[in-house]
Amino acid sequence: MIDPIAVHLGPISIHWYGIIIASAILFAAWLGTAEVRRRGEDPEVGWSMLLWVIAGGVIGARLYHVYDQWSTVYSKDPLLALQVWNGGLGIPGAVIGGALALWIYTRVKGLPTGRWLDIFAMALPLGQAIGRLGNFVNQELYGPPTTLPWGIPIDAAHRLPEWTNLNLYPLATTRFVPLFAYEAIASLLTLGAMLWISRRFAARLYDGDMLLIFIMFYGVVRSYLETFRIQNWVIAGVPTATWLGLGGFVLAGGFLWLRHARGWGTPGAWMQPSDPSPEVGGSPEVQAG
């Protein structure tokens, strides 16, 4: 096991989780910057927007996780909810919180919301894949015991109550399903698929399509991974993340089909130069996003 604290500086401790999350943000921002340039937008605008999106994403991710684990963890000590460095960020909450922050920012600044949502959606799977390494350091986001060769050990202190009996599940021999690794690999596959789609069909895609496609991919992945987890936040006996995943897949897929069937957008809008004249102020479609 890896010590979750990377560096001790007197009374200050720097956690691996924080380093990994910061690295995930930086690598995702690097990819996002490349996407910004490809779409003809201003990278400086993207960096300014990033601070708001990160804040919204972290708040949303933490709220989702705390609500998810409230009855088993945080109801006993609510102050633990503030200890983000110990892990616990829910991707569904991050997507919702980050998207809301981006929507508000672009509405205030008069930027094309759909286009910027696509840009951040393109970068999200890379950040997600890297960020999941933090779950390994903190020994979280794992599934049931397994005999698979890639199973991982989990200390007794980090085990769920079902698996704390060391007579039944010895520390030396018991291994668990590394769900964080599954999601990291799935995120990289999602990234590859999205990069291909965004370039192969660039002239046919509307602003906002790539966000819908990301939601569809992630919805399937998360719904499958939830089948390995226990003590989930459930609604009507079904994990909430499964409801969100399958619901997101159906709604995003349905809206993607409907907007193209009805022509609710401009194909390849970012590829079409806007009219810079003061009288017109640019393409209405581009401005509206």
In this prediction, what percent of the chain has a pLDDT beyond 90?
63
Residue 102's pLDDT is 95
Residue 37's pLDDT is 95
Percent helix, percent strand, percent coil in the chain, to nearest 5: 65, 5, 30
Whether 192 is in a domain gets the answer yes
Mapping DSSP onto H, E and C, the string for 109-152 reads HCCCHHHHHHHHHHHHHHHHHHHCHHHHHCCCCCCCEECCCCCE
Q: State yes or no: pLDDT of 276 exceeds 60.
A: no
Q: What are the two backbone dihedrals, phi and then psi, of residue 137, each rounded to the nearest 5 degrees?
A: -60, -40
Residue found by looking up tokens 């990234």 in the block: 191
pTM: 0.85
Whether 212 is in a domain gets the answer yes
Q: State yes or no: pLDDT of 124 exceeds 70.
A: yes
Find the largest Cα–Cα distance for the chain. 78
Instruction: For the chain, list the strands marked E by DSSP.
Output: 5-9, 12-15, 145-146, 175-176, 234-235, 238-239
Q: State yes or no: pLDDT of 71 exceeds 90.
A: no
Tokens of residue 79, six digits: 């102050």
Whether 201 is in a domain gets the answer yes
Adjacent-strand bridge partners of 234: 239
Whether 117 is in a domain gets the answer yes
How many whole angstroms separate alpha carbon 172 and alpha carbon 166? 9
Of 135, 143, 139, nearest in space to 230 by CA: 143
Residue 11's pLDDT is 82
Output 15 or 206, whichever has higher pLDDT: 206
Output 274 or 19, whichever has higher pLDDT: 19
Whether 165 is in a domain gets the answer no
Q: State yes or no: pLDDT of 186 exceeds 90.
A: yes
Q: At residue 256, what is the residue type? A: L
Output 232 or 62, whichever has higher pLDDT: 62
Q: Per residue in 131-158, pLDDT tens? A: 999 999 989 889 999 999 999 999 999 9
Q: State yes or no: pLDDT of 10 exceeds 90.
A: no
Residue 280's pLDDT is 39
Range from 90-94, 219-223, 285-289 carrying the lowest mean pLDDT: 285-289
Average pLDDT, the chain: 88
Residue 69's pLDDT is 75
State the pLDDT confidence band at 241, using cuts at 50, 70 and 90. confident
Q: Are 87 and 138 in contact (CB under 8 A)?
A: yes
Q: Per residue in 253-264, pLDDT tens? A: 999 999 999 999
Residue 136's pLDDT is 92
Q: State yes or no: pLDDT of 248 exceeds 50.
A: yes
Tokens of residue 199, six digits: 């370039």
Whether 172 is in a domain gets the answer no
Residue 78's pLDDT is 81
Q: What is the mean pLDDT of residues 85-105?
A: 84
State the pLDDT confidence band at 277, using cuts at 50, 70 and 90. very low
Q: State yes or no: pLDDT of 287 exceeds 60.
A: no
Adjacent-strand bridge partners of 152: 176
Q: State yes or no: pLDDT of 206 exceeds 80.
A: yes
- Three-state secondary-structure class, residue 78: helix
Provide the residue range defining the domain that includes 16.
5-143+178-264
Whether 236 is in a domain gets the answer yes
Q: State yes or no: pLDDT of 283 exceeds 70.
A: no
Adjacent-strand bridge partners of 15: 5
**Total number of domains in the chain:** 1
Whether 169 is in a domain gets the answer no
Residue 274's pLDDT is 55
Output 159 or 276, whichever has higher pLDDT: 159
Range from 159-168, 230-239, 280-289 carrying the lowest mean pLDDT: 280-289
